[in-house]
A and B are shown apart, each in its own frame.
Chain A
Amino acid sequence: MAGLQEKLLLITLILYLSGAVLPLMIRGSPRVSLILGCCPGVAAGMLGLVLGLWGMINPVPLVVNLGCILPGVELGILIDRLAGFFLAAISMVAALASIYSLGYMKIYVKENVAWWSFCYNLFVLSMSLVVMVNNTVVFLIFWELMTLASYFLVTFEYRHQQVRKAGFGYIVMTHLGTVFIISAFFIMSGGANWGFADLAARSESLSATTKSLVFACALIGFGTKAGVVPLHLWLPSAHPAAPSNVSAVMSGVMLKTAIYGMIRLIIDILGPGPAWWGGLVLAVGIVSAVIGVLYALMEHDLKRLLAFHSVENIGIILMGLGAGMIFYSWSMPVPAAIAVAAGLFHVLNHAVFKSLLFLGAGSVYYATHTRDIEELGGLINKMPQTAVLFLVGAVSISAIPPFNGFASEYQIYQSLLALSLAKVSGFWSVAGVLACAALALTGALAAACFVKAFGVSFLARPRSQKAAHASEVPLVMRVGMAPLAVLCLALGVLPQVVMNSLLGVAAQIVPGPEIPLPPGAFNLNLALLLAAIIAALAGLSGLPGGRARRAETWGCGIVPDASMEYTAASFSQPVRRVYQFILQPKREVTTDYTLLPYFNYRIHFEERIKSVFRDFLYKPLREFTIALSKKWRYIQCGDINLYLGYIFVTLIILLVWVR
């Protein structure tokens, strides 16, 4: 059996590589490059999905050594249940995004599509390998490859200055994060053995302080890649800069490799720590969720809005994991495993609905060439199928039953309540319920945000010519999105099936006794009930709207036009005002008038929100760094003799030291 798995693995890797290399070798038209790049990508993704699911169900992990890739560095593969789960999620989203790309990349025919195919396949390949390898050195190599490939994908439209800036911010922030990851690995290994198994064996002998140091480094390092607040700054600029199919993969699954890293290093290798570790992760999760969704609500760029929702959902995932870590530190393996499984469930669900939404945003961009929702409107009539698919994603991300966002947030609620009910101390009892309230706030804000996003871009009348002349996107793009929408519903109504296998995954990390299936079996019944009531009412009232008469919207005597519609800015105004202590909005109204202020002929309104983190955290840090660099600059005078002197002095010091 293992032989077959090994063959599948090799074929998958070769397919990704051929998808990367073939378009570069065969310099055909962009169309040919696209087909050469995407088709192997689709096939590899499907094989990867099979491989991942196999690894997830199979209790015996697959261990293969694929030989040396660098002198002294061997590519050891380990697909256990955890790796299998992440591999399956990555492969599925990547395969569907590849199908979608066949249609979507047509708007980039003037760009270098072969280069895109190369980076894209390499990106997916390195993501898959990041979760499959069993050695920290190889992990870091593929982690870097993943970052670099995604950097070139983010800067694909490098001619725009905005894109180059976003790419720069991305690569700087993620490298800062990588420094912390390397430190964490280095402290763990002590410079001796670099395999995950060696690290796990060594963690027993580490002192509590060292462990906490590793934990902090891992949280900062992986947190940067995952985009937790306040390390999220790169995320809302990098995701919109990339082409939408790439954003879907980056937001849907690349962020999850950081979650994988956290689970692997903190929970699996370090094992149970003090309760404050979990408490910190939970707190970071709450802050990320609430701040992320609040900023999302203020955005009118469809893709920036979705990017901020990634921050929110990473926060929700961390709430589940944090609860799990707290239980783990209390030596309560059963609720710990359930909470970790709840977090993993949200990982899967977020991968599904977020990639669906990003692909939907890409479809909107394809049809209208704008991402600004203030210019959209009425798309439900122009692109009815895309509208349904986007709506499914919007309902799912707003945690509304019976879709999948609700199913996993339900499990996280249960875990947070279990935190309260464990009665370990009064503090945790209150903290659990307060975390529930924070999750409810996040859900309500997300719902408000997606009523805005869907309502303003798809409903009412078009607000610009671009939206008025939109048409439905090619079939292949809808085919790429449809399975994700189906999954949104399927994962929502059958959470028990998914939770059952995820509990298996969690049990591998948090070993303990047999875990009873947590509640939540009612979802299917609820969905059927809702469908039955709606169908019955529709039948009673004649088919919905069968006899509905159509008339113009009431406008107090005038015929309203599109300029009178509620805009995204006006929709979010009450929220902006109520939560102004976080958002710090600044409003400027200037009126041009003749004679008296009552007779104005033009009003200019501008409202901006302050980026609190940029202004109060990053700006001082940046200024400090620049000031420090200026102080050091005097050793850099540009004289080549001086540099040779530096090298000479360094050499002598080294020789003396090594002697």
Chain B
Amino acid sequence: MTVNILSALGQMAFLMLIAPLVNGVIKKAKALTQCRRGPGILQSYFDIVKFLRRDPVVSVHTSWITLLTPLVCLGAYLAAGSIIPLWDHRGIVFGDLIALTYLFALARFFLGLAGLEPGSAFGGMGSSREMMIATLVEPVMVLGLFGLVLTAGSTDLRALAGAGWNPAGALAFIGLMIVTVAETGRIPVDNPDTHLELTMVHEAMLLEYAGRQLGFLHWAAMIKQLVLLALLVHLFWPHPPGIPAAAALGLMAAKVTALGLGLAFTESVLAKMRLFRLPELMAGGAAFCLLAVLSNSIM
């Protein structure tokens, strides 16, 4: 038990440390594909440190919900991260695939409330859109992830390692990649770089945040991105069993970065979609996931 808790804590520390780097690499790659120089890959660290050193400013109309939300988000994503075995664990103490899916819902719920709280139309718009997108994304995510349970036979993430490493898995991978794009707020669903009022979703909810609270939220978003990528790697492209923890972590970091480069590339070549075209995109994702489920249950 103690060993398990310690390894979960270690995993959380790893995620907190590495998430800004992965984000920096994605940003750099995106800049390069767009023929820009872009910021250095360490820029995300500097940003977080800068935000964390500043005292927050919050709207006069807010309550403790606004102040609690960044902590809840960070906590939920870290807990989700502790569930994915990054190296060979003896046991998972904090949850399984279902808990992981619903921890994202926990963060989203509070973020949605925090968007409404300052009473600005932007925040409300962001919350409203985010919750609508979630109603499209969550069923597809569950369809894709639980389809893999059919092969693994359990919702325990240790059993699910490499569950997608089969022909049907390729279909599920495409579906879940679309989910990841939506969940990380990237083009064509949302744009992480924009502050143009009418197109924001995630950024609109953060609009009234400043200082330390904003730093926490940015950090949380990076960790969420890393957790999703790590989940994909774990399900579809796991490291060989029995390798030492350090090697496993190194491999994980490399594979996550490779997937991140894919995200950067798609983001550069695609245009942002109209909000109400999203159901079509997610229906496409659902179709891939459903095909994966079908071929899994026939085989």
A residues adjacent to B (C-beta < 8 A): 377-378, 380-381, 384, 395, 398-401, 406, 410, 413-414, 417, 420-421, 426, 429-430, 433-434, 436-441, 443-445, 447-448, 450-452, 454-456, 459-461, 519, 522, 525-526, 529-530, 533-534, 537-538, 541, 544-545, 547-555, 560, 562, 564-566, 570-575, 577-578
Contact, CB under 8 Å: A545 / B56: yes
B125 at interface (Cβ–Cβ under 8 A)? yes
Contact, CB under 8 Å: A549 / B57: yes
Known: A410-B99, A550-B60, A565-B119. A430 touches B293 (CB 8 A): yes
Q: Number of residue pairs across A and B with beta carbons under 8 Å? A: 262
Contact, CB under 8 Å: B59 / A551: yes
Give A517 to B115 CA distance when docked, in angstroms: 40
Interface of B is mostly: helix
Contact, CB under 8 Å: A437 / B143: yes
B245 at interface (Cβ–Cβ under 8 A)? no
Contact, CB under 8 Å: A545 / B143: no
Chain A proximity of B176: nearest CB distance (Å):
13
Contact, CB under 8 Å: A566 / B275: no
A-facing residues in B116-163 (Cβ within 8 Å): 116-121, 123-125, 127-129, 131-132, 134-143, 146-147, 149-150, 153, 155-156
B297 at interface (Cβ–Cβ under 8 A)? yes
11 chain-A/chain-B pairs, Cβ below 8 angstroms: A401-B102, A417-B149, A421-B149, A430-B294, A459-B63, A459-B117, A525-B94, A529-B8, A529-B75, A548-B57, A551-B57
Give A551 to B136 CA distance when docked, in angstroms: 35
Contact, CB under 8 Å: B112 / A451: yes
Contact, CB under 8 Å: B65 / A380: yes
Interface 1/0 per residue, B45-75 and A, CB below 8 Å? 0000000100111111111111110111011
**Shortest Cβ distance from B133 into A: residue:** A574
Interface of A is mostly: helix
Give A420 to B150 CA distance when docked, in angstroms: 7
The listed residue (B57, B109, B208) touching A451 by CB distance below 8 A is: B109
Give A447 to B108 CA distance when docked, in angstroms: 9
The listed residue (A460, A548, A571) touching B117 by CB distance below 8 A is: A460
Give A454 to B11 CA distance when docked, in angstroms: 34
Q: A395-B109, A549-B55, A574-B275 given. 15 additional CB < 8 A pairs?
A: A377-B119, A420-B297, A434-B290, A436-B146, A440-B138, A547-B55, A550-B60, A551-B60, A554-B208, A555-B120, A565-B120, A571-B131, A574-B129, A575-B131, A578-B132
The listed residue (B108, B120, B143, B276) touching A577 by CB distance below 8 A is: B276
Give the most central of A420, A426, A436, A451: most B CB within 10 Å.
A451
Give A448 to B131 CA distance when docked, in angstroms: 5
A-facing residues in B249-299 (Cβ within 8 Å): 275-276, 278-279, 286, 290, 293-294, 296-298
Contact, CB under 8 Å: B71 / A455: no
The listed residue (A401, A433, A456) touching B103 by CB distance below 8 A is: A401
Chain A proximity of B194: nearest CB distance (Å):
16
Give the most central of B52, B112, B113, B149: most A CB within 10 Å.
B113
Give A529 to B77 CA distance when docked, in angstroms: 12
- Return chain A residues, CB-CB under 8 Å to B135: 441, 444-445, 448, 575, 578
A-facing residues in B218-249 (Cβ within 8 Å): none
The listed residue (A413, A433, A440, A570) touching B124 by CB distance below 8 A is: A570
- Return chain B residues, CB-CB under 8 Å to A533: 12, 71, 74-75, 78-79
Contact, CB under 8 Å: A430 / B74: no
Chain A proximity of B107: nearest CB distance (Å):
9
Q: Which 9 A-B pairs have the closest CB atoms?
A: A566-B124, A429-B297, A448-B131, A455-B116, A460-B119, A440-B142, A574-B132, A451-B112, A533-B75
Contact, CB under 8 Å: A443 / B138: yes
Give A548 to B211 CA distance when docked, in angstroms: 9
- Return chain A residues, CB-CB under 8 Å to B134: 444, 447-448
Give A445 to B134 CA distance when docked, in angstroms: 8
Category for how many chain B residues contact A = 35 or more
- Return chain B residues, CB-CB under 8 Å to A455: 112-113, 115-117, 127
**Shortest Cβ distance from A565 into B: residue:** B119
Contact, CB under 8 Å: A459 / B65: yes
**Shortest Cβ distance from B76 into A: residue:** A530
Contact, CB under 8 Å: B64 / A544: yes
- Return chain B residues, CB-CB under 8 Å to A573: 128
B residues adjacent to A (C-beta < 8 A): 8, 12, 52, 55-68, 70-72, 74-76, 78-79, 82, 92-96, 98-99, 101-103, 105-106, 108-109, 112-113, 115-121, 123-125, 127-129, 131-132, 134-143, 146-147, 149-150, 153, 155-156, 207-208, 212-213, 216, 275-276, 278-279, 286, 290, 293-294, 296-298
Chain B proximity of A487: nearest CB distance (Å):
19
Contact, CB under 8 Å: A398 / B109: yes
- Return chain A residues, CB-CB under 8 Å to B294: 430
Known: A417-B155, A433-B147, A553-B208. A444 touches B139 (CB 8 A): yes
- Return chain A residues, CB-CB under 8 Å to B105: 398-400, 443-444, 447
Contact, CB under 8 Å: A429 / B150: yes
Contact, CB under 8 Å: B116 / A566: yes
- Return chain A residues, CB-CB under 8 Å to B123: 566
Known: A401-B102, A417-B146, A455-B113. A544 touches B68 (CB 8 A): yes
Contact, CB under 8 Å: B132 / A401: no
**Shortest Cβ distance from A571 into B: residue:** B128
Known: A443-B138, A525-B94. A545 touches B297 (CB 8 A): no
The listed residue (A414, A460, A545, A553) touching B155 by CB distance below 8 A is: A414
Contact, CB under 8 Å: A566 / B121: yes
Give A456 to B79 CA distance when docked, in angstroms: 29
Give A399 to B129 CA distance when docked, in angstroms: 20
- Return chain B residues, CB-CB under 8 Å to A434: 143, 290, 293
- Return chain A residues, CB-CB under 8 Å to B56: 545, 547-549
Contact, CB under 8 Å: A441 / B139: yes
- Return chain A residues, CB-CB under 8 Å to B279: 578
Give A455 to B121 CA distance when docked, in angstroms: 13
Chain B proximity of A613: nearest CB distance (Å):
21
- Return chain A residues, CB-CB under 8 Å to B125: 566, 570
Chain B proximity of A13: nearest CB distance (Å):
42
Contact, CB under 8 Å: A550 / B59: yes
Give A529 to B120 CA distance when docked, in angstroms: 33
Contact, CB under 8 Å: A519 / B71: no
Contact, CB under 8 Å: A441 / B102: no
- Return chain B residues, CB-CB under 8 Å to A525: 93-95
Chain A proximity of B154: nearest CB distance (Å):
8
Contact, CB under 8 Å: A550 / B58: yes
Contact, CB under 8 Å: A433 / B63: no
Chain B proximity of A242: nearest CB distance (Å):
29
Chain B proximity of A522: nearest CB distance (Å):
5
Known: A378-B61, A420-B297, A566-B125. A433 touches B143 (CB 8 A): yes
Chain B proximity of A496: nearest CB distance (Å):
14
- Return chain A residues, CB-CB under 8 Å to B293: 429-430, 433-434
- Return chain B residues, CB-CB under 8 Å to A399: 102, 105
- Return chain B residues, CB-CB under 8 Å to A545: 56, 58, 64, 66-67
Chain A proximity of B15: nearest CB distance (Å):
12
- Return chain B residues, CB-CB under 8 Å to A529: 8, 75, 79, 82, 94
Give A414 to B98 CA distance when docked, in angstroms: 9
Give A420 to B134 CA distance when docked, in angstroms: 25
- Return chain A residues, CB-CB under 8 Å to B156: 519
Contact, CB under 8 Å: B98 / A413: yes
Chain B proximity of A264: nearest CB distance (Å):
30
Contact, CB under 8 Å: B59 / A526: no
- Return chain B residues, CB-CB under 8 Å to A447: 105, 108-109, 112, 131, 134
Give A456 to B127 CA distance when docked, in angstroms: 11
Give A380 to B63 CA distance when docked, in angstroms: 7
Known: A399-B105, A548-B57. A562 touches B119 (CB 8 A): yes
- Return chain A residues, CB-CB under 8 Å to B109: 395, 398, 400, 447, 450-451
Give A400 to B125 CA distance when docked, in angstroms: 23
